[in-house]
Structure 1
């Protein structure tokens, strides 16, 4: 059996999406004779070296950098269509987005799996606020076509499954919830260039992540003079410019340390030695309506680091009260209260971190994810 995997996203990179893609490909390489991957060109070769020999990546380059998003999406759909059409080997095609899906759903030699981590109609208006309602409606029609035409749907969150059944009237039995995972992480030495006392934020810097809320919470922590915030960005430095302006406005330049696109081992060492890891997700369609499964939370669980998270259905799917501290989303004062409690009560904080680690071992390793995904494939075959 041959597997085809497509994503209108760069791979490999240091982003969480790339981590998810990597482990999905590991799962597919264990049950398929060949795995062909169609994606945008990545910029980090470290993940690529962990893939099996039967996984072949076909990166897509754009000759004209001036093309807009929709033009690029159309070209990528055409690439996926022609590449999968040229191969007459029967198999299963898995796609992460509607642009990849348009290239697969009409291939008669493929059964298809729509991996819904995010929906274009929800995420694109955040990137491009001037999109017209008619264009968003057209995108939703494409989403519906992909959801109805595919043979099965996998998604990492029960919130997302609920949205698909209510918004698009998809049969619940057609959707499998397979949470993201994390690696089992060995104990690492503390990096010598880090401050003695710090909390950590890691991941991408989109507005819905809530990093600005975390920065503003430091206004209520001025009595912790030695406390620092280490921000490990999975994207390039230019994405942090708005946050640097906010940091200057708040007057906390001496307390904030930025790092960019770290290797996994370096990142894990920083997380393990932090006083707490913060996931300050905001309200909004992306987190509340569509749903998500933050890998930053799962990796923090695997690192045995105390977790402070915004109290949303997507975070309560992963953590219970005895496993983390929760604050009301977008309330920087409530967030500062949680940070203060962790700093002042290391014993209970570490106990919650230990409880979260045990839950990670029981439910959220990448082996768990891969076994569930392989089961979906066996059922389709």
Structure 2
């Protein structure tokens, strides 16, 4: 009889975000070994409950409310479900439900094994989303985060940068499993075409400040045309307005188009239309202390695109300069301009980098391998 595993994610699933892709892939794997019930967020029009193979998925479809109010509602729902269903394992992705679960276990005789899947850290991310957050509330959230770290039995994270952060917090390395993101090579088949008269550059993902899009626009202003840049993603209204204003200020309205996010199924077609793919991350705590493992990079690779990205540690876990991508010194705007010009002028180099990147995904970074790594980690944990 399979053991019960409750998987909780304070994310809308499915959604046009990398987090949603990872969650679905993790659940697909976990369903092979466990009786899985997943609790996620939903939007109006989504079913309250459905099955993905052997995995049951329930959604909290809450009316629009303040972010922190929704976290409380979600955490209470998770705790209630855990008490009713009595799983042996609970894997959670956010501080909000992790704190409620760990606090309840501290005060009551329950036998849950808690697995913290570490991604975004509130102590780093909240200031970007809510710059007016009271300092006292920030301190409270940091204290809750520390309690969750001390209470969790096991940890999963997507990059070595995340792992380094966990070690800095005193977490034993033997409790950790680093399970990176990936891509499905069979979905992102490359289509090599003649270099067009007007090459397209593309960026997929959130429009958040730490993604470096304003810096990218400044670098593009100095690139000799012709070219076009397509930004595909979503951000809060403040981020989006700042980005549009920057496009106008730099005189790039003729060369830059901003598209709303599309369902993940459309990503292969979007990438097929581009020659160069961009991930212009900047040096911030979000990228260098917390860490990241961008799914966009893996999907760029699977599609055989020439990739331009900074030489941040999180990026160098995935890409190698002049072998699978063109990496530039992080924060060096002139180097970013030069990187774009280099690939625009050299279609053969762009194709060589793209082919090598795809080969790496097929060999080392596909989702099937990541799923096997996840199950291997769980087998080790269960044996302990």
Structure 1 length-normalised TM: 0.90
Determine the structure 1 residue equivalent to 2:84.
86
CA shift, 1:238, in A, is 8.0
- Cα 1:264–1:45 change in 2 (3 A) is farther
- The DSSP-based 3-state class of the residue aligned with 2:289 is helix
Determine the structure 2 residue equivalent to 1:353.
354
Cα deviations across residues 232-271 of structure 1 (Å, max 9, x unaligned)?
1155888523211111111111111222222334321221
CA contact (8 A) 1:236 1:261 kept: no
- Cα 1:291–1:345 change in 2 (3 A) is same
Determine the structure 2 residue equivalent to 1:200.
202
Q: 2:165 aligns with which of 147, 163, 170?
A: 163
Residues in 1 aligned to 2:114 and 2:366: alpha-carbon distance in whole angstroms: 25
Residues in 2 aligned to 1:313 and 1:170: alpha-carbon distance in whole angstroms: 21
Cα deviations across residues 270-312 of structure 1 (Å, max 9, x unaligned)?
2134221010001110001111101111111111100000110
CA contact (8 A) 2:188 2:299 kept: no
CA contact (8 A) 2:202 2:278 kept: yes
- Cα 1:45–1:274 change in 2 (3 A) is farther
Cα deviations across residues 319-342 of structure 1 (Å, max 9, x unaligned)?
112111112223332211101000
CA contact (8 A) 1:213 1:331 kept: no
Pairing 1:300–2:295 present:
no
CA contact (8 A) 1:3 1:36 kept: yes
Determine the structure 2 residue equivalent to 1:70.
68
Uncovered stretches (5+) of structure 1, i.e. residues with no partner: none
CA contact (8 A) 1:232 1:267 kept: no
CA shift, 1:53, in A, is 2.9
Alignment of 1:1-381 (within 5 A): 1-33=3-35, 35-42=36-43, 52-63=52-63, 65=64, 67-88=65-86, 90-105=87-102, 106-107=104-105, 108-166=110-168, 168-184=169-185, 185-187=187-189, 196-221=198-223, 223-224=224-225, 226-234=226-234, 240-321=240-321, 322-381=323-382
CA shift, 1:188, in A, is 6.8
Residues in 1 aligned to 2:45 and 2:378: alpha-carbon distance in whole angstroms: 29
Over the residues paired in the alignment, what is the CA RMSD in angstroms? Answer: 2.5
Residues in 1 aligned to 2:236 and 2:288: alpha-carbon distance in whole angstroms: 27
Cα deviations across residues 25-72 of structure 1 (Å, max 9, x unaligned)?
111111113x212122147979x99x6332222211335x4x433232
CA contact (8 A) 2:190 2:303 kept: no
Uncovered stretches (5+) of structure 2, i.e. residues with no partner: none
